[in-house]
Amino acid sequence: MNTAVAMDTFVRLSCARCSTSHRVRDIYILKSGMKAACTSCGAPFAVVAMPDASLDEIVPSHAVQEIPQQDQESVDQEVAQVERAQRLGSKVERAVFHGTGGTLFGIHLVNTLLTIVTLGFYYYWAKVRVRTFLFSQTEFAGDRFSYHGSARELLNGTMKASLIFGIPYYFLENIGHFLEANMAIRVTLQIAAWLLLAIFIPVAIVSARRYRLSRTAWRGIRFSFQGKALDFIKLWLSGYVLTAATLGLYYPYFSTKKHAFLTTHSYFGSEPFKFSGDGATLFRPFLMMYIPVVMTALIAGLALYFFVDFPLKNVGDLETMGSLVIGAVAGLFIAVLGFRLLWLPYSVIEQRFFWEQTSIGSARFRLPITIWPYLKLKLGNLLFMLCTLGLAWPWITIRNIQFITDQLALVGKDNFDETVQAYDGAPPIGEGLDGFLDTGFDLG
Partner 1 sequence: MPSLWQGYYLDGHTAIRHPVTIQFATTALHIVKADGNTIDWPYGKITQTQGAYEGEQIRLEYGGPLPQTVIVEDLAFLTALQQAAASNAAHFHNPQQRPLRLRLTILAGIALLGVTACFYVWGIPGLATFLAPRIPVSWEEQLGASVLAQLAPSDTRCVDLNRFPALETVVARLSRAMPDSPYRIQLTVVDNPVMNAFALPGGQVVVFRGLLEATETSEQLAGVLAHELQHIYKQHPTRAIIEQASTSLLIAAVSGDFTGALAYGIEGARLLGVLRYSRLHEDEADREGLRLLQAVGIDPAEMIAFYRIMEAQHPHEAVTPSSLSTHPDTNERIETLIALAGPPPPHPVKLFSQEAWKDLRSLCRRPVAATSQIPTDTAP
81 vs 156, which CB is nearer to partner 1? Answer: 156
Helices 251-264, 183-214: inter-axial angle, 10-degree rounding:
40
We find the least distance from the C-beta atom of residue 414 to partner 1, in angstroms, to be 12
Strand boundaries in 261-368, DSSP class E: 266-268, 271-275, 358-360, 363-366
Torsion (CA) 326, 329, 334, 338 in degrees, nearest 10:
170
Integer CA distances (angstroms), 385 to 277, 373, 380, 382, 393, in order: 35, 18, 8, 5, 7
18 vs 391, which CB is nearer to partner 1? Answer: 391
We find the least distance from the C-beta atom of residue 309 to partner 1, in angstroms, to be 26
Both ends of the chain: CA-CA distance in Å?
Answer: 58
Show the binding pattern over residues 254-293: x = contacts partner 1 (CB under 8 A), - = does not: ---------------x------------------------
103 vs 243, which CB is nearer to partner 1? Answer: 103
Q: What is the DSSP letter of 43?
A: -
Q: Judged by CB under 8 A, which of 115, 158, 162, 226 binds partner 1? A: 115
Residues in the chain, how many?
A: 444
Long-range contacts of 417-422 (CB under 8 A, 24+ apart): 418/271, 419/221, 419/268, 419/269, 419/270, 419/271, 420/221, 420/269, 420/270, 421/220, 421/221, 421/222, 421/269, 421/270, 422/222, 422/224, 422/267, 422/269, 422/270
139 vs 278, which CB is nearer to partner 1? Answer: 139
Question: Is the C-alpha dihedral spanning 163, 164, 166, 167 positive or negative?
Answer: positive
We find the least distance from the C-beta atom of residue 421 to partner 1, in angstroms, to be 5
Q: Judged by CB under 8 A, which of 31, 98, 284, 376 binds partner 1? A: 98
Show the binding pattern over residues 149-188: x = contacts partner 1 (CB under 8 A), - = does not: ----------------------------xx----------
Q: Judged by CB under 8 A, which of 37, 49, 110, 245 binds partner 1? A: 110
Q: Judged by CB under 8 A, which of 42, 51, 89, 120 binds partner 1? A: 120
Residue list 27-86, contact with partner 1 (CB under 8 A): none
33 vs 142, which CB is nearer to partner 1? Answer: 142
Q: Is 433 in the site for partner 1 (CB under 8 A)?
A: no
Integer CA distances (angstroms), 255 to 62, 283, 307, in order: 20, 11, 39
Q: Is 346 in the site for partner 1 (CB under 8 A)?
A: no
Q: Judged by CB under 8 A, which of 86, 112, 296, 320 binds partner 1? A: 112
We find the least distance from the C-beta atom of residue 435 to partner 1, in angstroms, to be 20
We find the least distance from the C-beta atom of residue 324 to partner 1, in angstroms, to be 20
DSSP assignment of 181-209: --HHHHHHHHHHHHHHHHHHHHHHHHHHH
Which residues in this chain contact partner 1 in the complex, by CB under 8 A?
98-100, 103, 106-113, 115-117, 120, 123, 132-133, 136-137, 143-144, 146, 177-178, 218-222, 269, 378, 381-382, 385-386, 388-394, 396, 416-421, 423-426
